[in-house]
Amino acid sequence: MVEEIKQLKEAVKEKKLVFGIRECLKNSGNIARVYIAADARQETDGIVKNSGAECIRLEVGREDISKILEISFQCEVFSVLNAQKSSIKMQKISEPRAKGIKKVKN
């Protein structure tokens, strides 16, 4: 389990980690590995396995993963993007932005 957590932390540093089932499926052709939280819903396994990527079930739950990765939200699915194909623009995870709200320059 320690190795998987290291890989997740490294992916966060390299901005190659996407969060959630929707992002996993949306980027299915660009994903190297998918990590699923221990307390993820049963149907999540089936959905994520359709991504075609290697799926790894973690031994820790959503809340613990959020603390370890120092993110301000809980998530069941963490997808690591392929190194050579990572062209997805990542948003800072410490500042999630609500839909429809734009930053205004003063």
Domain count, the chain: 1
Cα–Cα distances (Å) from 60 to 35, 101, 104, in that order, read 11, 34, 39
pLDDT tens sequence for the chain (106 residues): 688 989 999 999 999 999 999 999 898 889 999 999 999 998 998 888 877 788 999 999 999 999 999 999 999 999 999 876 444 444 444 445 555 655 556 5
pTM of the full structure: 0.74
Enclosing domain of residue 39 = 2-81
Is 99 a member of any domain? no
Query: Over the range 18-55, which residues count as b (16 or more CB within 10 Å of their CB) and which as e?
Result: bbebebbeebeebbbbbbbbeebeeebeeebeebebeb
How confident is the model at residue 103, as a pLDDT? 59
Is 45 a member of any domain? yes
